[in-house]
Structure 1
Amino acid sequence: MSLLNRIFENVTSHSRVVIAVLLVLTVLVGAGAPMIEQSSSLDQFQSDSEAAEKLDYIDSNFTTGRENTTAVQVIVRGDDVLSKDTMVHALRFQQQLRENETVNKTLVDENPTSGVANVIAISAIQREKGAELRAEGEQLQQRSQQLNQTAGRLSDVLNQTRELQAQYDQLNASRQSGEIDNETYRQRAGEIETQLQGVRANATSELTANQSATFNQSAQQARGLQAQLDQLNASYQQGQINQSAYQERTSEIESQFQQVYQLGTQGVLAEEYEQLQTRSENLTEKRENLQNGSTPSLSAQIERLESMNQSQVDSTTEMVLSSNDSDGMSGQALAFMPTSYEPGTTEANATMLMVFQKQDGQSMQPGQGSDAIVESQSAIQSIADEEFDREAMVFGSGIISEEINQSMTDSLTIVGPLALLFVILTLLVAYRDLLDILLGVFGIVLVLVWTFGFMGWLGITFNQMFIAVPVLLIGLSIDYAIHVFMRHREEREQDTGAGVRGSMRVALVSVGAALTWVTATTVIGFLSNLVSPLPPIQDFGIVSSIGIIAALLIFGALIPALKVELDEILESRGYDRTKRAFGTGGGGLGRVLSAGAVAARKAPLVVIVLTVLISAGGAYGATKVDTSFAQEDFLAEDPPGWTKELPEPFKPAEYSAKKNLDYVNDNFVREDSQAQILIQGDITQDDTLEQVQQARDDAADKDTTLVLSNGEPEVTSPLSVMEQVAAQNESFNATFTAADTDGNGVPDQNLKQVYDGLYTVAPEQAASAVHREDGEYQAVRMSISVEGGAASADVTDEMRDVADGFDGDLEATATGQAIVFEIVQKQLLDTVIQSLIITMVSVFAFLMLIYRITEGSATLGAVTLLPVVFSVTWILGTMYLLGMPFNVLTGMITSLTVGLGVAYSIHLSERYNVELERRGSVWEAMNVALTGTGGALLGSAATTIGGFGVLVFAILPALQQFGIITGLTIIYAFLASVLVLPSLLVVWTRYFGPGARGTIQTKSTAAVSGED
């Protein structure tokens, strides 16, 4: 007796010990279940790749001024979303967010909200302040002109003073020379003094006392200097001094005149000029503050909008949202408008505002919100519903995370009971015995306890994929139970004297090997997923394998031991526990199950040829199956109406994220939908920015690049940052312009000085585009907004084409979430292919080895696996016909098909081989195997199909697809085993089986005369 048979015999021999040990182990293992954590993020599916590493590099070394934040998009839809009333509501909505305790604690400190209403209100405030500053500037200009006119008038008076003094000096000279008499002198001198007094009086009439005194002082000094100059001229003319002394003395007097004029003009108006200078400096500061200062408060924005009439609002809206906005706010504002919006109009059917929240760690991937983020975004939706009198939808990582998690919960809540109900109904038909049904359900519960307990102890996170695990294990557990129970019933019918324990011993020894080989091959199938570079798929393979092994322990040991003990107790009290096995005893079901035997007897080669042809078609379709890995795969549609009538807690929640995501993709800039170009190497070489500019132009021409309604692509690069800073800072503008030698607006020399200047005047903006480490410049990056609904393959191809445009000492890499997901998508396809190959080769080798050892024929292993190979091609061809792609769940269908499908083939091959040895006739052995084991196969297939079939009622879309395709897999595997495998076994028996003499008899003709 083999070791395996002795192990199964001990289950019945020491049933109470088996029960005690396994129940204790169940408690210990199950203690790990509460430790399971849950995650719905797609980040966990990412593996190591160059694009993922570069994306991590960008997250670690570049900033946008909003590190560790997540952005929420609030879309307001309806007519007149640009009306004054709607925009005021948008600002009040933002104010409520800041006042709400749940939301406020998650908001970033600086400018946590922003939308088109903010841009328009701020623009209106700036225009108002700008008008005030222009008026003040005009006043200062007028005042400056007035002061200059006064200074000019005072200068003219000083000139007149000098002229009159010169006349007075000439009059004195004429008197001294006797040219005029004293009377004439006095008369003329008096006239001159009167004129001087009149000129001074006229000049000082509008001056203060101090100013008049200062001016009179300067006028007196001017008279004195003019007298000195006249005396000097007279001395020179009389030859009393030489020319050199004359020129020197004249120069000194002229210099003194300049001082006198300064005193008589600027000196007189010094205080006014100082005040004018102060006011001018204040005006300059106000203008700079207006341009670069802090954002006006929400209260100020609301107050400004409310003070405007609709015409003023429309005028400001047209100006701000025009493509040629002179204030430079158009690009900022248009980012909040639908891509179909016509710039400059006041009509739009939707607008968007952003809410920025703090989170633990930087993440570009939606769908992984913390509890605080989830709670706050739900609160944001509630506040939006109350504030706006039109539709307002909230789109953010918290909402998505909540819906994915909720869809998993709702799916389990609906699918779990349905699966159990279906299994119970099926078992009612198959078992027709309450105790056997209860034992089966109890066993299922224990298998799930073992599985989730191990998950907790191993620290494996529960994600979207693991919703399929309970259904998978329910189906497999019942599969094991049916085979054990049905075989036990058969033995009790055939050997009435063996009793409960004896029949169970024979049953376990009979099907134990098959159950063990099924477990081994199924585990091989699931563990083949370890070749996947995607951690969740590896975890799924591990957890599924643990569950399958647990199913073997529970239904191969614990449940049979319990059944033996309970049946003996009941029979000791007079209850008859003998039951007929499902599918035996003839009847319509027996005839249906024996159809494969009939076909194998009449035309086995025809069956095989037809199967090969159908499989060839399926194989062709397999090459056309698409692969999908996207957020949309895990976002639920709103459940069908009938689910709304379900009682609590089965009634599912409402789901809107999928619809909202589609709307945002079609109409707006997705905050998280960006491609990145990381440029590393010698980024200070002269042509770096020229290449960046060329890459920007290349990106603008790509189909997947998002284009705003003004026709401009949404691209951020070192150049765009530099242009913004240069427009606001004169010193950097000078540096930026000086480095541009060919006048094309792109610096092409001294780039290190340009980077230095950028970091000096705008360090935060610089860090968003240029990475500096220890004073050395390491990398620059471009950020390109892409169409939200663009295929990841298209984004990847086009962005890599942009990156390939860089040359020289620059290394450019295209990355971003879409590109990383495309890599995951290809890895998913690689996983499908590799796991299929590994599973096929491993199971093929395993079965050939096992059958060589146990049955003496390795070829029986190959024959047993062939129906599974056929069913794999059928299911892949079906996926192609249904347009169903490989995703994180359906991508495991090949290994699942082999793992599950081979079970049916092994059970039938094992039973056929046993009956062939026992009965000697191929046809009798085949009929007994198909009606006996075939009935068990039908029962287990029905429960497994039903278990997976109920997944169509799941809320999670990927789970629905998985349920459909897995249900079809079981159908194909069952059909292949009961329709195709008999023909294969007949051919194998004829050419490779016992005797292998080209006959279908294994005993002498005489011995079996009349049997067939």
Structure 2
Amino acid sequence: MSVPDRLSEIVTGHSRAVIALMLVVTVLAGAGAGMVEQSSSLDQFQSDTEEAEKLTYIEDNFATGSENTSTAQVIVRGENTLSKDSLVETLHLQQSFRENETISQTLSTERPTVGVANLVATSAILGEQRQELQSLATEFEQLNATVQKERAALARRQAALNTTRQALRTALESLQEDQATSPRETFEGVRERTAVELDETQYDTFNRSVQLLRRATDEAEIERAYKQGTQGVLADEYETLEQRSQQLEADGERLRALGSELEQRQSKLENTSPSIGDQIEAIESLNATQYERALMSVLGGDSNGQLSGLGFMPTDYEPGSASANATMLLVTHQTSGEGQAGAASQQLIDAQLTMQSMSTDQIGAGDSEVIVFGTGIMSDEINNSMGDSLAIVGPLALIFVVVALVVAYRDFLDILLGLFGIGAVLIWTFGFMGWAGIDFNQMFIAVPVLLIGLSIDYAIHIFMRHREQRQENGAYSDDDVRGSMRTALAGVGIALVLVTATTAIGFLSNLTSPVPPIQDFGIVSAVGITAALLIFGILIPAVKIEVDSVLENRGISRQKRAFGTGNGRFSSVLSAGATAAKKAPVVILLLALLVSAGGAYGASQVDTSFNQEDFIAEDPPAWTDNLPEPFAPGEYSMKENLEFVNQNFVREDSQAQLLFEGDVTDPETLQRLSDAQRDAAESDVVVTLSGGGADLQGPLQTMQQVAAENETFNATFTAADTDGDMVPDQNVEQVYDALFTVAPQEAGNVIYRSDDGYQAVRMVVSTSGTAAMSDVRSEMAAIADNFDSGGLETTATGQIILFDIVQDQLFDTVVESLLITLVAVFAFLMVTYRITDGSAMLGAVTLLPVLFSVTWILGTMYVLEIPFNVMTGMITSLTVGLGVAYSIHMSERYKLELDRTGSVWEAMSRTVTGTGGALLGSAATTVGGFGVLAFAILPPLQQFGIITGMTIIYAFLASVLVLPSLLVLWTKYFGPAASFELSPEETATPTASDGGRPNEREE
């Protein structure tokens, strides 16, 4: 007894034990289904690449990487969003955000909301303080000038008095030595040589000192005479000098106090953060002239530092204009840093949904419109579209399957058994996901539909073969239910195992993909198809035996005609391939090759796509408005909003980064950074702000901005820039140190400093939302390549670059999975058929129609402009895995009938009407199942449903139209000896198959 016979004997002979065992396994597997978690983050599609590692390095070591913040863009659109009333409305909205508990608990503690309204209000509030500060600065400068001037004058007077005193002493010494010299003449000589004006009173004092000196008899008298003749003569001048010195000291104290007050007020002014209430009051109190002045101070185009508001305006805004049709408010959320990378927490989702609702109520109720664009709302729409898609396509898939089964089975109990089996397969599959820790993402919405279609194929083939076995020569046989099922399982079992193996190979070929979700999809799908084999090959047959036996024991007949037999309309249609094979098999083969050549050309033109937009649903079609709850989908506006943001604003999440590692304190590094900055600014993919400059941030921009606002750092920065090009060319490390001292947050954003010194710097480049990812990647890579020398390692990274890498990997997945699947399936079939039938060539013949269908489906993708994405990127391996099942069933049935009858045409007739009918039923259910994905909300699922449905159609057509001709040619040149003669019996109704088992009645 063969292995298939022994296995079928076990299933049919111990059906109740088999049912009990399989139900226990189902319960155990189902326990894991509740552990399946949902994820919509696109970060899960990223693989381990150098660019991904460098982005992690940035997040770990630069200031922005440890903040765990997320930014939402609130965009107000209206006739004039820069009007006074509009800005006040925006401030009231911000106040509502901060007062709402759901929103406030997520807001960052530092500047949680900022926009043009805040900057204008702050400018107005600081205006008066700046005037007072300017007045104080003017007073300080005047007093400082006076003090410096007086200090210099006193120094000169002190020097003059000291010189005069020395001249008087010298004169006294000469008079002491020469008693005949006239004191008058000597004094006049001193007066002529000194800058101090000496009068007669001073001469009298000098003359008395001369007389005293000439009469002196001891040293004390001499010293007293010298003192009187020098200091005594200049006593009034020294007293005046002392008084002026005391006044200068008082002025100095006042100057120091004034300087301290000026510094305190300056610091207070720089760190002023007025409340939203103060800001509202400030703007409302401005008259038209004051408001325009405050607005222009922010949007005039020459505003610098923190009060520049051009970054909040549309990219086509004209600086200095008092009118604009849109403006932006940035809301910064503080995130926990927990959960999956790139995934928005429920707290963040709730906050941004509340923001959208409040914005619509407060501002959108009038003539303005508000858009809230952030990861929270985007994640919510993606999650909702996943749920809405399942709510729509799940029931539709079951409806299509039920309708197809009604047509194929025409039996209520068999339909229920099929649905029960589908449920068991889904339980096993999702249970495996739970136990294996595989998250449910956008791709896995296709898994239930995929398994529904594939599972019912097994049921149709087994049930149809079972029905055929009970029907012989147009009449019903006396075989009981158990015996017929035993024969059916033995006959179709090998084909089902081969189908499962080849389909699993197709799914598992996705393990070669570097994209983790595609790997998971391949594993889960392979497990699911294996579960389908076990459920429909063991559990369902055993249940059918028990149910049918009970009913027939009570006199209820369970004998049904197999679909496609009986010379009906379907039989005639299915016989077309056999008829063509009789008349012109070579012509059929040539036509197939010709069509495949056209498909191959189209395949070379199919694009590859991996964009955030791919996963964002468009607004559902109008027909969904009539769906009842819970099937009615929600509203989706993110795709339209995203397009508006891309066209008009700088997207906060659309950035590329250049990471520079190595000796970043070398002056040559900063000069080359300046060159890289210039190259980036000139790139077409970089966003140009309304002021005309590129939106990028690096060490040089940061240093220049801080230097414009901080005099202390400006002095250090200027001293290090010897050639005046705003790029330090010496003492770079000291410049970095000073930058971290005065602006640690800004410095840490672009410079990485560890305990071992300065390790890296980075440049953040805002890219256009409309720029192709490949262009961004190539432009940034070119800049990095130009910089990557001289001991520096430069890497272009960022989310947009990682997404482009995934896009390339998707194409690699298409090619690699196709090649692996083809080679593996080809080898498997050839070895299998060589062992079982002694003809490896039959394996090649069986696979050839599948190759045709691969080119047909790729050509169809080109015609329909469907790109390779995370879903359709698996279509080539799926085409082989799914399509080969139809060919295997046909080849297996033909081989068995050929062995039994020895007639090529009789074997072909039985194959295309018997197995062909089962294939038509399974194709109809599978196409219907996959076709309902076209009604999904997510665009990739729509495309996947359409293209997979076409795949099944092509595989079926190739198996019933092309494969018969190939089988005829195989039989003629490589197969066993068989008759090609038409016998009279072939015009009669084809007999039922017995599964390849010898007919005991004929023996």
Q: TM-score, normalised by structure 2?
A: 0.89
Which of 315, 318, 323 is 2:296 aligned to? 318
- 1:450-849 equivalence runs, <5 A: 450-494=428-472, 496-806=477-787, 807-849=789-831
Q: 1:269 to 1:711 in 2, by over 3 A?
A: closer
Aligned to 1:299: 277
Aligned to 2:404: 426
Residues 240-249 or 379-388, more deviating: 240-249
How far did 1:270 drift? Answer: 7.2
Residues 646-655 or 763-772, more deviating: 763-772
1:288 aligns with 2:267: yes
Aligned to 2:161: none
How far did 1:295 drift? Answer: 2.1
1:75 aligns with 2:51: no
1:732 & 1:149 partners in 2: Cα distance? 28
User: CA deviation digits over 1:330-351, x for unaligned, max 9?
Assistant: 6x41111000111110111111
Aligned to 1:89: 89
How far did 1:419 drift? Answer: 0.4
Conservation of the 8 A alpha-carbon contact between 2:339 and 2:345: no
Conservation of the 8 A alpha-carbon contact between 1:529 and 1:831: yes
How far did 1:135 drift? Answer: 3.6
Conservation of the 8 A alpha-carbon contact between 1:736 and 1:754: yes
1:336 aligns with 2:315: no
Q: 1:714 to 1:1007 in 2, by over 3 A?
A: closer
1:541 & 1:677 partners in 2: Cα distance? 35
Conservation of the 8 A alpha-carbon contact between 1:229 and 1:250: no
User: CA deviation digits over 1:401-448, x for unaligned, max 9?
Assistant: 111111000000010000001111111111111000111111100100
State the SS of the aligned residue for 1:342: coil
Aligned to 1:232: 206
How far did 1:229 drift? Answer: 6.9
2:109 & 2:912 partners in 1: Cα distance? 73
How far did 1:450 drift? Answer: 0.4
User: CA deviation digits over 1:914-954, x for unaligned, max 9?
Assistant: 11111221111111111111111011000000000000110
State the SS of the aligned residue for 2:752: strand
How far did 1:139 drift? Answer: 6.1
How far did 1:995 drift? Answer: 2.6
Conservation of the 8 A alpha-carbon contact between 1:718 and 1:782: yes
Q: 1:612 to 1:756 in 2, by over 3 A?
A: same
- 1:206-221 equivalence runs, <5 A: none
2:278 & 2:229 partners in 1: Cα distance? 65
2:245 & 2:508 partners in 1: Cα distance? 94
- For 1:345, give the aligned amino acid: S
Aligned to 1:920: 902
Runs of 4+ in 1 over 3 A off after TM superposition: 135-152, 224-230, 233-259, 262-277, 327-330, 362-366, 1005-1012
User: CA deviation digits over 1:74-98, x for unaligned, max 9?
Assistant: 0111111001111111111111111
Residues 228-237 or 110-119, more deviating: 228-237
1:371 aligns with 2:350: no
How far did 1:360 drift? Answer: 2.8
How far did 1:99 drift? Answer: 1.0
How far did 1:1006 drift? Answer: 12
1:40 aligns with 2:53: no
How far did 1:451 drift? Answer: 0.3
Aligned to 2:378: 400
How far did 1:279 drift? Answer: 3.8
Conservation of the 8 A alpha-carbon contact between 2:206 and 2:233: no
User: CA deviation digits over 1:339-374, x for unaligned, max 9?
Assistant: 0111110111111111111113399986x2101111
State the SS of the aligned residue for 1:64: helix
1:4 & 1:795 partners in 2: Cα distance? 58
Aligned to 1:1000: 980
2:899 & 2:782 partners in 1: Cα distance? 67
Aligned to 1:27: 27
- For 2:273, give the aligned amino acid: T
1:869 & 1:496 partners in 2: Cα distance? 40
State the SS of the aligned residue for 1:73: strand
1:386 aligns with 2:361: yes
Conservation of the 8 A alpha-carbon contact between 1:628 and 1:886: yes
Cα root mean square deviation, aligned: 3.0
Q: 1:891 to 1:250 in 2, by over 3 A?
A: farther
- 1:134-173 equivalence runs, <5 A: 134-137=134-137
1:598 & 1:253 partners in 2: Cα distance? 143
How far did 1:272 drift? Answer: 7.6
2:959 & 2:570 partners in 1: Cα distance? 16
Q: 1:398 to 1:921 in 2, by over 3 A?
A: same
Identity over aligned residues, as a percent? 59
Which of 861, 864, 885 is 1:882 aligned to? 864
2:776 & 2:233 partners in 1: Cα distance? 79
Q: 1:752 to 1:249 in 2, by over 3 A?
A: farther
Q: 1:737 to 1:133 in 2, by over 3 A?
A: closer
1:764 & 1:69 partners in 2: Cα distance? 14
How far did 1:732 drift? Answer: 2.2
1:438 aligns with 2:416: yes
Aligned to 2:122: 122
User: CA deviation digits over 1:654-674, x for unaligned, max 9?
Assistant: 111111111111111111111
Aligned to 1:64: 64
Which of 313, 316, 323 is 1:347 aligned to? 323
How far did 1:513 drift? Answer: 0.7
User: CA deviation digits over 1:11-60, x for unaligned, max 9?
Assistant: 11111111110001000010000000110001011111111111111111
- 1:174-253 equivalence runs, <5 A: 230-233=204-207, 235-236=209-210, 240=214, 252-253=231-232
- For 2:369, give the aligned amino acid: E
- For 2:429, give the aligned amino acid: T
Q: 1:356 to 1:513 in 2, by over 3 A?
A: same
Q: 1:865 to 1:237 in 2, by over 3 A?
A: farther
1:254 & 1:875 partners in 2: Cα distance? 117
Structure 1 unaligned blocks of 5 or more: 155-221
1:987 aligns with 2:969: yes
Aligned to 2:847: 865
1:484 & 1:799 partners in 2: Cα distance? 58
How far did 1:312 drift? Answer: 2.4
1:149 & 1:808 partners in 2: Cα distance? 53
Conservation of the 8 A alpha-carbon contact between 1:74 and 1:352: yes
- For 1:415, give the aligned amino acid: V
Conservation of the 8 A alpha-carbon contact between 2:400 and 2:929: yes
Q: TM-score, normalised by structure 1?
A: 0.88
- 1:931-946 equivalence runs, <5 A: 931-946=913-928
Conservation of the 8 A alpha-carbon contact between 1:229 and 1:253: no
